[in-house]
C-alpha cells in the first residue's frame, strides 16, 4: 500500500511539476527566471519597510500611507517609460543606470528616516525609489520570445513566472517585517544586496535577451522610425485579418444574411484602415488597466490596514507572516493552475478568480483576530496568482510581442496608481478610526473594483476571442 501511495504521489508530482521542469531545462532559462525574482525584492520589501519604519520613527500612518502613495505614483509614471525604453534600446542598456539611481535613493531615504529628517525631505527622495527596472515584464518577454508560436508552453511559462513572483512575496513579506522591526537600515541593505545579485544573474544572461527595436532596425538596414512603420503595416494587416474573421463569425452567429455579413466585414476592414486598431490602446487594454487600478487600490489598503490591526493587537511582528500566507496560497494556486491546459474560456477563468479575491478581501471588515485574516488569505490566495496569469494571457491578445513589455508596464503602472490611492485613503481613515476604518475602505474599494471590472466585461471577453498577435514585431 505504501508503495502505491508513493507511486501515486510521484505521478501527481510529475503531472504538476513536469511541465515546469521541462521549461527550466531549456538552456539558460532558470538563470534569468530566478535572477528576475531576486532582483524584484524591492516590491515586497520596500513598502513594508517604509510603513513600519515611518510609523516607528514618526508615529503617523497618514505619513506612511502618503509616502507609499508617492512611491507608487512615481512607479506608475516611470514604469511605462522604462518599458518603452527597454523595447527600444534593450534590457541591459536601460536597467544598469536605473539600478544605480535606486541604490542611491534607497540609501538616502533610510538614512533620513532614521535621522528623523523633516517630512518634506522624505517626499523629495521617495520618488526616486521608483527607479526599478521592469524585471517581471522583461522576464515574461524573454519567455514569450523564446516560446513564440507554442501557446500551451507560453501559458505555462507565464504561470511559472507567477509561481516565482509568489515565492518572492512569500519570502519578502515576513523578512521585511522582521528586519524592519529590528532596523530599517538592515532591511534596505538586504534589499539592495538582492537587487545587485539578481541583476547580475539576469543581465549577464545574453543568449535569451530579446532584440531591441534598435537592433532589429539595424539588421533590416532601416532607421528605428522606418522599422516601426514597416512593422506597424504588418500589425495592421494581421489586425485586418483578425477583424474580418471575427466580424464574419459574429454576424453568422447572429443569423444575418449574406449581404449583412459582407457589410460587417467591410466595416471591420474600414475600422482597421482608419487606424482605430493601430494603437495598443484599444478598449480591451483600457478595461484591463482600469481593473488593475482597482485591484491595486483595495490590496494596498488591506496591507496598511492589517499592519494597523496587528499593532493594535500588539502582534506587529506577525504581519509579514500573514502576508506570506496569502503569497504561499497564491503560489500553490499558480502551481496547480499552470499545470493544467484549461479548456474553460479565458475570460470566464479571469472573472471567477477576480471575484473570489475581491469578495474575500472585503470580508476583512468582519474579522476579529489577526489569525482570522490569515485564514481568509489562505483560502482566497489560491485565486490571486491565477488572476495575474490570466491578465498576462489577456495581454497577449491585446498587444504585439515586441510591445509586450510596454503593455505590461502600463498594467503595472495602473496597479501602482491604484495602490497609491488605496494606501493614502486607508492611512487617513486609520489615523481617525483605527484599523476598522481602514477595513471599511478596503471593503468599499473591493466592491467598487469588482463592479468596474464587470463594466469592461464586453471588451475583455471580445479581446480573448481574438487571435494572439504572435506575428507582429512592434
DSSP assigned state of 403? G
Note the pLDDT of residue 165.
Answer: 74
pLDDT surpasses 70 at 271: no
Looking at the fold, whether 88 and 191 belong to one and the same domain comes out as: yes
The CATH code of the domain that includes 444 is 1.20.1250.20
Note the pLDDT of residue 277.
Answer: 44
Please check whether residue 12 lies inside any domain of the structure: no
Looking at the fold, whether 89 and 114 belong to one and the same domain comes out as: yes
**Domain extent for 422:** 29-206+279-464
Looking at the fold, whether 180 and 97 belong to one and the same domain comes out as: yes
Q: Is the pTM of this model over 0.75?
A: no
Query: Which one, of 198, 193, 159, lies nearest residue 31 by Cα?
Result: 198
Q: Rounded distance, CA 185 to CA 7, Å? A: 49
Looking at the fold, whether 283 and 259 belong to one and the same domain comes out as: no
Please check whether residue 121 lies inside any domain of the structure: yes
pLDDT surpasses 60 at 281: yes
Looking at the fold, whether 200 and 120 belong to one and the same domain comes out as: yes
Please check whether residue 212 lies inside any domain of the structure: no
With the C-alpha atoms ordered 99, 105, 106, 111, is the resulting torsion angle positive or negative? Answer: positive
Looking at the fold, whether 228 and 333 belong to one and the same domain comes out as: no
Mean pLDDT of 56-65: 77
Q: Rounded distance, CA 343 to CA 11, Å? A: 22
Q: In the chain, what percentage of residues exceed pLDDT 90?
A: 1
Per-residue confidence band for 438, with pLDDT thresholds at 50, 70 and 90: confident
Write out pLDDT tens, residues 134-147. 888 888 888 888 88
Per-residue confidence band for 470, with pLDDT thresholds at 50, 70 and 90: very low
Write out pLDDT tens, residues 204-214. 888 888 877 77
pLDDT surpasses 80 at 361: yes
Please check whether residue 416 lies inside any domain of the structure: yes
Q: Is 455 exposed, middle or buried (0-12, 13-18, 19+ CB in 10 A)?
A: exposed
DSSP string, 362-401: HGGGG--SHHHHHHHHHHHGGGHHHHHHHHHHHHHHHS-G
Looking at the fold, whether 109 and 249 belong to one and the same domain comes out as: no
DSSP string, 214-237: HHHHHHTTS-HHHHHHHHHHHHHH
Q: How high does pLDDT run on average in the chain?
A: 77
Highest mean pLDDT among 33-37, 229-233, 253-257: 33-37
Region for residue 28 given its phi and psi (left: phi exceeds 0; alpha: psi -120 to 50; beta: otherwise)? left
C-alpha distances in Å from residue 334, one per residue of 16, 327, 358: 10, 10, 18
Per-residue confidence band for 11, with pLDDT thresholds at 50, 70 and 90: low
Query: Which one, of 370, 378, 367, 388, lies nearest residue 326 by Cα?
Result: 378
Write out pLDDT tens, residues 288-321. 888 888 888 877 788 778 878 887 777 766 777 7
Note the pLDDT of residue 474.
Answer: 32
Question: 3-state DSSP helix/strand/coil percent for the chain, to nearest 5?
Answer: 85, 0, 15
Looking at the fold, whether 266 and 284 belong to one and the same domain comes out as: no
Looking at the fold, whether 258 and 393 belong to one and the same domain comes out as: no
Which three cell numbers mark 349?
Answer: 477563468
Note the pLDDT of residue 409.
Answer: 72
Per-residue confidence band for 85, with pLDDT thresholds at 50, 70 and 90: confident
Looking at the fold, whether 111 and 148 belong to one and the same domain comes out as: yes
Helix axes 404-433, 384-398, angle to 10 degrees: 140
Looking at the fold, whether 130 and 261 belong to one and the same domain comes out as: no
Write out pLDDT tens, residues 393-407. 777 777 765 566 677
Looking at the fold, whether 246 and 320 belong to one and the same domain comes out as: no
Q: Rounded distance, CA 205 to CA 420, Å? A: 34
Mean pLDDT of 84-88: 81
Amino acid at each position: 500500500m505504501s508503495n502505491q501511495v508513493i507511486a501515486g504521489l510521484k505521478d501527481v508530482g510529475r503531472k504538476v511539476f513536469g511541465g515546469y521542469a521541462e521549461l527550466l531545462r531549456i538552456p539558460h532559462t532558470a538563470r534569468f527566471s530566478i535572477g528576475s525574482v531576486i532582483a524584484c525584492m524591492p516590491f515586497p520589501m520596500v513598502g513594508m519597510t517604509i510603513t513600519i519604519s515611518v510609523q516607528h520613527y514618526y508615529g503617523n500612518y497618514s505619513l506612511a500611507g502618503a509616502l507609499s502613495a508617492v512611491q507608487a505614483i512615481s512607479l506608475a509614471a516611470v514604469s511605462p517609460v522604462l518599458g518603452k525604453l527597454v523595447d527600444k534600446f534593450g534590457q541591459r542598456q536601460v536597467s544598469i543606470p536605473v539600478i544605480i539611481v535606486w541604490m542611491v535613493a534607497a540609501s538616502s531615504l533610510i538614512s533620513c528616516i532614521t535621522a528623523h529628517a523633516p517630512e518634506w525631505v522624505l517626499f523629495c527622495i521617495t520618488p526616486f525609489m521608483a527607479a526599478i527596472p521592469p524585471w517581471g515584464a522583461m522576464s515574461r518577454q524573454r519567455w514569450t520570445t523564446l516560446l513564440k508560436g507554442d501557446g500551451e508552453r507560453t501559458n505555462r511559462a507565464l504561470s511559472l513566472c507567477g509561481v516565482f513572483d509568489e515565492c518572492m512575496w512569500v519570502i519578502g513579506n515576513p523578512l521585511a517585517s522582521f528586519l524592519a522591526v529590528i532596523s530599517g537600515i538592515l532591511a534596505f541593505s538586504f534589499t539592495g544586496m538582492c537587487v545587485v545579485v539578481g541583476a547580475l544573474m539576469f543581465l549577464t544572461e545574453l543568449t535569451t535577451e530579446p532584440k531591441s527595436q534598435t537592433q532589429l532596425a539595424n539588421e533590416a538596414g532601416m532607421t528605428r522610425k522606418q522599422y516601426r512603420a514597416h512593422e506597424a503595416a504588418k500589425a495592421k494587416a494581421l489586425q485586418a485579418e483578425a477583424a474580418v474573421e471575427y466580424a464574419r463569425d459574429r454576424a453568422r452567429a447572429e443569423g444575418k444574411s449574406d449581404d449583412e455579413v459582407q457589410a460587417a466585414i467591410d466595416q471591420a476592414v474600414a475600422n482597421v484602415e482608419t487606424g482605430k486598431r493601430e494603437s495598443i490602446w484599444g478598449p480591451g487594454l483600457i478595461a484591463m488597466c482600469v481593473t488593475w487600478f482597482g485591484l491595486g487600490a483595495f490590496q494596498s489598503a488591506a496591507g496598511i490596514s492589517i499592519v494597523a490591526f496587528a499593532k493594535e493587537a500588539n502582534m506587529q511582528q506577525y504581519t509579514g507572516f500573514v502576508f506570506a500566507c496569502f503569497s504561499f496560497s497564491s503560489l500553490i494556486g499558480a502551481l496547480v493552475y499552470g499545470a493544467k491546459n484549461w479548456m474553460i474560456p479565458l475570460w470566464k477563468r479571469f472573472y471567477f478568480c477576480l471575484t473570489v479575491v475581491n469578495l474575500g478581501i472585503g470580508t476583512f471588515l468582519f474579522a476579529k483576530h489577526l489569525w482570522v485574516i490569515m485564514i481568509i488569505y489562505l483560502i482566497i490566495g489560491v485565486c490571486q496568482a491565477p488572476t495575474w496569469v490570466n491578465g498576462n494571457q489577456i495581454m497577449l491578445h491585446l498587444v504585439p510581442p515586441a510591445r509586450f513589455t510596454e503593455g505590461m508596464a502600463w498594467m503595472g503602472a495602473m496597479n501602482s496608481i491604484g495602490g497609491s490611492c488605496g494606501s493614502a485613503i486607508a492611512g487617513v481613515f486609520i489615523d481617525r478610526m483605527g484599523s476598522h476604518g481602514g477595513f471599511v475602505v478596503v471593503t468599499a474599494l473591493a466592491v467598487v473594483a469588482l463592479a468596474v471590472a464587470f463594466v469592461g466585461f464586453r471588451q475583455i471577453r471580445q479581446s480573448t476571442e481574438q487571435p494572439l498577435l504572435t506575428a507582429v514585431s512592434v
